[in-house]
Chains A and B, each alone.
Chain A
């Protein structure tokens, strides 16, 4: 009986550890600053900030692919949804002050994409660091 209890307790403990592993990804240089200043990134009208963030997290592929078609095929430029803006805020800087590619291991994009096992194809063509002049 006590053996069963030990097995049960260890299963409980491991599930708790697995939950605790659900950490916040490396937000990136500018995004972290933004958050520390208490600003609400990705906030939408008529929605709480938390709900907006969940929507952003879930819908970012749809938002981006909708915009990419509009930009490429219809020449619609500017606006909120731009991959270059994602990259601009969510890249980190290493010790030498150089930008780390946003798709490198443990960086903003790759953390979640690795976790959920979805491939990240944007950056086989798109630039992974903010543009030089920024």
Chain B
């Protein structure tokens, strides 16, 4: 047998590897037969936001919003949770100006901050912000420590205290995890508006892309005076209010 020196060995192995790579490059091992398309990942070219006009928003509008949210996500039927344990993804809040005694009603939910305190404090990275600005809880990672509930200045998050069944397919919910408004992320990804926005027939609640100069929300924000709740915290919320 011919003695194989180091140089010859490297030559032949390189040639063989190159040959195999050329021949086998067309073969992929794990592709599906008929591949239903996956949608593309969301990008930070968009930022979803909401503008709530408290002058136009009636109390019954707010009730409709709360009901639509409960219907969409299936919360509010917890039988064993009492008082503070009850889920409240969206709440009806009355604010009163002490000087003028003017009362305004508003719907308060997760404000989808650009700098979310809940994400800062989460020890497991479960609390997270998507590229398009929607703040979510990854319940796969949530350990139920409730730091995020402490950190949230809007009291927007709730904790599930009991075992649940019959959840909605698009909204898994379970005992021991924290949950909050998702801005109906499953609908937004399909190009629809969130359930609470759709439930209000007037333009008291506007939903859209804050960055898109042609969107209704962007144009309205340019024209009317609006504010963030607790703007002093510099969180740059995605949900804004006018008329308060």
Binding site for B on A (CB under 8 A): 43-47, 55, 65, 68-70, 72-80, 84, 101, 124-131
Asked whether A55 and B30 contact (CB < 8 A) given A76-B38, A126-B172, the answer is yes
Asked whether A70 and B41 contact (CB < 8 A) given A45-B33, A77-B189, A79-B36, the answer is yes
Interface centre among B166, B175, B190 (most CB of A within 10 A): B166
**Contact residue among B31, B40, B175 (Cβ-Cβ distance under 8 Å from A46):** B31
Q: Is B193 an interface residue (CB 8 A)?
A: no
Q: Is B140 an interface residue (CB 8 A)?
A: yes
Q: Which of B103-111, B127-135, B225-233 contacts A (4 or more CB under 8 A)?
A: B127-135
Q: Is B87 an interface residue (CB 8 A)?
A: no
Interface bin, chain B: 35 or more
22 A–B contacts, CB within 8 A, in A order: A45-B28, A45-B31, A45-B32, A68-B140, A70-B38, A72-B140, A75-B39, A76-B40, A76-B41, A77-B186, A78-B36, A78-B37, A78-B38, A79-B38, A84-B169, A124-B163, A124-B176, A125-B177, A126-B167, A127-B169, A128-B165, A129-B166
Closest to B185 in A: A75
A interface: dominant SS:
loop
The reply to whether B38 and A77 contact each other, CB–CB distance below 8 Å, is: yes
Asked whether A75 and B169 contact (CB < 8 A) given A43-B33, A46-B31, A124-B175, the answer is no
